[in-house]
Each structure stands twice: as structure tokens, then as C-alpha cells.
């Protein structure tokens, strides 16, 4: 096994559609994806619901709600899972110390439904 020192320069949440877009670009540039990357690409092609432009638009829409408790990673998780009802949205955050008011939940769901 090779011991490699890796330095993390930046951590930034990326939507599944964004990863799919990066893999698409890699393939367009004539580069071959390794086994794992190809498996991820197949999965994302089947299960992502939005394209990059729609993700960016929805991200801005949710961000503009100015819900101070929502971090970028929360917004990305919402976009990846696209909940359609309050219970589904609450489940997304069940493992976190984050509780949203009913009004905030309704605003998020409205933003998703009007995408």
C-alpha cells in the first residue's frame, strides 16, 4: 500500500448533478474514466433529476430565502434529494442539530416545486 500525504485545500459541497457534469466534461475531453468513476457516472446519470443550470438556479432560489440556519451543505443536500413534502424535508436533517420552522419548510418546498 502506498502512503500518500494529501492536503485538503478547500472543502465545498457539490451537488450530484455537478459531479455528473464534471464526469461528462472529462469524457467529452477524450479522457477515460476509471472503474469507480464510471460506476459513479452511470449512477448519477440515472438518479440525478436536474442539470447544472437548474441546480444553480434552485441553489440561488433557496439561498435567497435567507434562512440563517441553512448552510451550503444543507442546500446541496436538499437539491440532491428534492423532497416533496414536509416530512421528507425533515428527514434530511434528522441526523443534524437543525430544526426549521414550519414557515421555513414551506418556503423551501415552494422553491423546489417552482423550479
Domain ranges across the chain: 16-47, 52-113
State the pLDDT confidence band at 8, using cuts at 50, 70 and 90: confident
SS (H, E, C) the chain: CCCCCCCCCCCCCCCHHHHHHHHHHHHHCCCCCCHHHHHHHHHHHHHCCCCHHHHHHHHHHHHCCCCCCCCHHHHHHHHHHCCCCHHHHHHHCCCCCCCCCHHHHHHHHHHHHCC
Which residue, 45, 40, 60, 68, is CA-closest to 111? 60
- For the segment 35-77, what is each residue's pLDDT rounded down to a tens digit? 999 999 999 999 998 988 999 999 999 999 999 999 999 999 9
Mean pLDDT for 22-39 is 94
Residue 98, pLDDT score:
86
CB atoms within 10 A of CB 9: 5
Mean pLDDT for 11-21 is 92
| pLDDT, the chain, mean | 92
What would the grid cell of residue 53 be?
443550470
Amino acid at each position: 500500500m502506498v502512503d500518500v500525504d494529501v492536503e485538503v485545500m478547500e472543502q465545498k459541497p457539490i451537488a450530484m448533478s455537478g459531479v455528473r457534469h464534471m464526469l461528462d466534461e472529462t469524457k467529452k475531453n477524450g479522457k477515460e474514466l476509471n472503474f469507480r468513476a464510471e460506476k459513479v457516472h452511470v449512477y448519477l446519470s440515472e438518479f440525478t433529476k436536474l442539470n447544472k443550470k437548474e441546480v444553480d438556479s434552485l441553489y440561488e432560489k433557496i439561498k435567497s430565502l435567507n434562512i440563517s440556519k441553512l448552510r451550503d451543505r444543507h442546500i446541496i443536500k436538499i437539491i440532491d434529494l428534492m423532497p416533496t413534502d414536509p416530512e421528507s424535508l425533515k428527514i434530511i436533517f434528522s441526523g443534524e442539530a437543525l430544526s426549521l420552522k414550519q414557515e421555513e419548510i414551506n418556503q423551501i418546498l415552494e422553491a423546489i416545486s417552482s423550479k
